[in-house]
Amino acid sequence: MEMKTNSGQQGIGCLFVATCRRECLLSFRRKSDLVNPLIFFLMVATLFPLGVSPDPGFLAQLAPGVVWVAALLATLLSMDALFRSDYEDGSLEQLLLSPQPLFIVVLAKVVTHWMMTGLALTLMAPLLGMMLFLPAEGVPGLMLSLLLGTPTLSLVGAIGAALTVGLKKGGVLISLLVLPLYIPVLIFGSSAVQAAVTGLPLGGYLALLGALLALALVLAPLAISAALRISISS
């Protein structure tokens, strides 16, 4: 019995790793999908001072919210392509028909998406903070909040991507479906950065972001699997 359990766990682990490897290879072949969110992230931080005010003090006050909104929109920009290529070449239907657990497959796809977009945005965030005159005290809070918040954005956004995968222009519909669910992450993430800047404890905000991430890790793959089945069967 224990041997069967161990072999099953190894099979699930191999499936997860194989799916991550496949998604990484496909992502590197479509370099535009990797670069576009980063360019958008940089453009928002670059154009914002031109459209509002170049005053360093004013920009420093708005920097936490601006960086977080830019990260949210950049993540949303890349969500439409998460299942689109698999749907167009028919491999998504094969995944739904295969005996492999769909929960693990979609979780691996979302994790890979986060590594290619959310993690890259997190590593790029200090540069944008410097451009917006974010005080050095707020950089650790910015990095930690994005590190906890961007996976939740990917998991929740994948639900909208799964629901609209069969539509030709699903990008706008994803925004309408997902943006209300992004608001708590945006509030807690920007509040954590603001607390770090002002010297207040930010552990509570990070705990809330961690709780949202844990909830999304448990529920989102199930919702994504059900949404994919609904989209393909309809």
- Distances in Å between the Cα of 105 and the Cα atoms of 17, 80, 90, 91, 170 are 10, 17, 16, 12, 22
Nearest of 161, 144, 140, 155 to residue 213 by alpha carbon: 155
Non-local CB neighbours of 82 within 8 Å, separated by 6+ positions? 109, 110, 113, 157, 158, 161
Where does residue 173 rank: exposed (0-12), middle (13-18), buried (19+ CB within 10 A)? middle
pTM above 0.85, yes or no: yes
- What's the pLDDT at 6? 53
First and final C-alpha spacing in the chain: 40
- What's the pLDDT at 30? 74
Q: Are 153 and 118 in contact (CB under 8 A)?
A: yes
- Do you know the residue count of the chain? 234
- What's the pLDDT at 176? 81
- Domain with 195 in it: 2-233
Q: Are 67 and 45 in contact (CB under 8 A)?
A: yes
- What's the pLDDT at 9? 58
- Distances in Å between the Cα of 126 and the Cα atoms of 58, 150, 194 are 18, 15, 14
- What's the pLDDT at 4? 46
Using CA atoms, how far apart are residues 98 and 70, in angstroms rounded to an integer? 38
What is the per-residue DSSP string for 92-141?
HHHHHHSSS-HHHHHHHHHHHHIIIIIHHHHHHHHHHHHHTT--TTHHHH
**Structural domain count, the chain:** 1
The tokens for 100 are 């492999």
- From first to last of its 234 residues, the chain has per-residue pLDDT tens of 444 445 455 667 787 888 888 878 877 777 777 788 888 888 887 888 888 778 888 888 888 888 999 999 888 888 877 888 778 777 778 878 877 788 888 888 899 989 888 898 999 999 888 888 888 888 999 999 999 999 999 999 999 888 888 776 666 778 788 888 999 999 999 999 999 988 888 889 999 999 999 999 999 999 998 888 888 876
What is the enclosing helix (H) or strand (E) of 142? helix 138-163
Using CA atoms, how far apart are residues 41 and 124, in angstroms rounded to an integer? 9
Q: Are 181 and 102 in contact (CB under 8 A)?
A: no
The tokens for 111 are 């994790």
> Is 9 strand, coil or helix?
helix
